[in-house]
């Protein structure tokens, strides 16, 4: 196919930490690697340059003013203006999350007669659609998006069902997040030992890993409180990221007698995943976690709450262990099993890897997006 020029619109982008930002970067880089020209429009935050190239992707950071609604309005106006002024330079526009940037993308696409895609994010009840429905301005935005009728993308059917309640009878395609299964992959026993030595982790420990934003819906302090009661002498928890729950997480770590390690966010996580054994995701609600897919591709066994897209992705006792969202005893029992039952984490992790290769490889997702960027239907 001919090379395309794609504009990604995202309120946040690398080096911002978060699932939407991570997926926007991975998709953009994968498209660029296939010969397409990709430009990302995002907000210019303090200390970041107005323009740079990241993994073959041109990033343009647009100026904004103030905070909250003013910030959103500035970015909406800036993104829409850029799209209209540079109309000869792009073939399709793809907005990440249905916030204000989605309005800019949908309006420009409608006016210019070009494909406009809007990816819906978050889990049921906690995503941007549910949040927008609680305010008059948010409901007006949802009505406008419904009227503009871009092609909406949902990572799981659960999110698509919720979206139709807010947006009306709009076109919604189920398209999961994609993961680079070559970059995120299991390693040999020797390589795993070397990675642990580099990271300073115990060679004989069972590592329970979390990567991503330390936000309330992830319930990381709650998990650590329960995990440290269940974990035995070999259990260690490693959390990589940052966010508003950091102080509460640090308090739980301080009570864990050195069994919990907190690491700063980092761009390269493949080695961290490969050195661990179990990936934890105790969220109250989820869409389809990028970190979960990266961990599964790396051969880790998921230990996760049975909610949203996680429940549709992880098969209990086959590719991971699930617990009902508030079942503390089930969480502790599952954590104990993963630490003490010989071969369990490795068996579940191998099955998780196989499932990720067959269903979530980023090449499959990008191939479908290429069709949609050219105006292809379902």
341 inside domain: yes
Residues 314 and 329 in one domain: yes
Residues 127 and 263 in one domain: no
- Top-confidence residue, 165 or 251: 251
Dig out the tokens for 286 from the structure. Answer: 């989820």
For residues 339 and 366, state if they share a domain.
no
206 and 151 in a common domain: no
39 and 67 within one domain? yes
> Beta-carbon neighbour count of residue 91 at 10 Å?
17
Position 20 in a domain: yes
**Residue 218 reports pLDDT greater than 80:** yes
d(CA 60, CA 43): 8
Exposed / middle / buried, residue 78 (Cβ in 10 Å: 0-12, 13-18, 19+): buried
> Given this model, what pLDDT does residue 159 score?
87
Pairwise CA distance, residues 129 & 131, whole Å: 5
Mean pLDDT of 255-267: 93
3-state SS class at 91: coil
**Token pair recorded at residue 374:** 């050219």
| 126 and 170 housed in the same domain | yes
pLDDT higher than threshold 90 for residue 287? no
Average pLDDT over residues 234-259: 96
Q: Is the confidence at residue 49, as pLDDT, over 80?
A: yes
- pTM > 0.95: no
Q: Is 263 helix (H, G, I), strand (E, B) or coil?
A: strand
Distance, in Å, from the CA atom of 99 to the CA atom of 374, rounded to the nearest integer, reads 24
Q: What pLDDT shows up at residue 378?
A: 46
| 228 in the same domain as 198 | yes
Q: Which H or E element spans position 236?
A: strand 235-242
pLDDT in tens, 130-166: 888 888 888 898 999 999 999 999 998 888 888 898 8
Q: Is residue 37 part of a domain?
A: yes
Q: Taking 80 as the threshold, does the pLDDT of residue 208 lie above it? A: yes
Residue entry with tokens 């526009």 = 93
Domain assignment present for 121? yes
194 and 251 together in one domain: yes
Residues 321-350: what's their mean pLDDT?
97
Q: Count of domains in the chain?
A: 2
Residue 195 makes CB contacts below 8 A (sequence gap 6+) with: 187, 271, 274, 275
pLDDT digits (tens, 9 = 90+) for 5-45: 999 999 999 888 677 888 899 999 999 999 999 999 999 98
Tell me, yes or no, whether 45 and 125 share the same domain: yes
The reply to whether 184 falls in a domain is: no
- Average pLDDT over every residue of 217-229: 97
Collapsed DSSP state (helix, strand, coil) of residue 150 = coil
Q: At 237, which CATH number? A: 3.40.50.2000
Residues 298 and 185: their CA atoms lie apart, in Å, by 4
Phi (first) and psi of residue 137, to 5 degrees: -65, -35
The tokens of 63 are what? Answer: 């100026």
3 state SS of 79: helix
Residues 171 and 200 reside in one and the same domain: no
Which residue range(s) make up the domain with 286? Answer: 189-359
Same structural domain, 172 and 155: yes
Q: How far apart are CA 11 and CA 160, in angstroms?
A: 22
In a domain, 183, yes or no: no
251 shares a domain with 161: no
């Amino acid at each position: 196919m001919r090379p395309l020029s794609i504009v990604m619109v995202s309120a946040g982008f690398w080096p911002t930490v978060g699932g939407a930002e991570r997926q926007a970067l991975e998709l953009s880089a994968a498209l660029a690697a296939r010969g397409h020209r990709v430009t990302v429009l995002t907000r210019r935050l303090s200390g970041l340059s107005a323009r740079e190239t990241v993994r073959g992707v041109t990033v343009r950071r647009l100026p904004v003013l103030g905070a909250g609604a003013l910030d959103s309005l500035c970015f909406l106006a800036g993104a829409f203006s850029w799209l209209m002024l540079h109309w000869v330079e792009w073939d399709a526009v793809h907005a990440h999350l249905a916030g204000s940037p989605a309005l800019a993308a949908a309006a420009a696409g409608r006016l210019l007669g070009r494909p406009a895609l809007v990816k819906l994010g978050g889990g049921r009840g906690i995503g941007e659609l549910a949040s927008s429905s609680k305010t008059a301005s948010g409901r007006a935005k949802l009505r406008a998006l419904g009227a503009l009728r871009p092609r909406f993308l949902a990572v799981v059917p659960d999110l698509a069902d919720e979206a139709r309640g807010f947006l009306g009878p709009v076109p919604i395609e189920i398209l999961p997040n994609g993961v680079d299964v070559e970059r995120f992959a299991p390693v040999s026993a020797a390589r795993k030992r070397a990675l642990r030595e580099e990271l300073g982790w115990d060679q004989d420990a069972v590592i329970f890993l979390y990567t991503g934003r330390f936000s309330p819906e992830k319930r990381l302090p709650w998990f650590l409180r329960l995990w440290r009661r269940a974990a035995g002498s070999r259990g260690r928890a490693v959390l990589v990221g940052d966010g508003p729950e950091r102080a509460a997480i640090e308090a739980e770590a301080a009570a864990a007698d050195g069994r919990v390690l907190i690491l700063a966010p980092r761009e390269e996580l493949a080695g961290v995943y490969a050195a661990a054994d179990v990936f934890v995701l105790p969220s109250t609600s989820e869409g389809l976690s990028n970190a979960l897919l990266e961990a599964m591709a790396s051969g880790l066994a998921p230990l996760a709450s049975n909610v949203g897209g996680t429940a549709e992705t992880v098969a209990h006792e086959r590719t991971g262990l699930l617990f009902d969202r508030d079942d503390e005893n089930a969480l502790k029992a599952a954590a104990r099993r993963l630490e003490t039952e010989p071969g369990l984490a490795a068996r579940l992790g191998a099955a998780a890897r196989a499932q990720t290769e067959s269903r979530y490889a980023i090449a499959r997702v990008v191939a479908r997006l290429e069709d949609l960027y050219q105006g292809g239907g379902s």
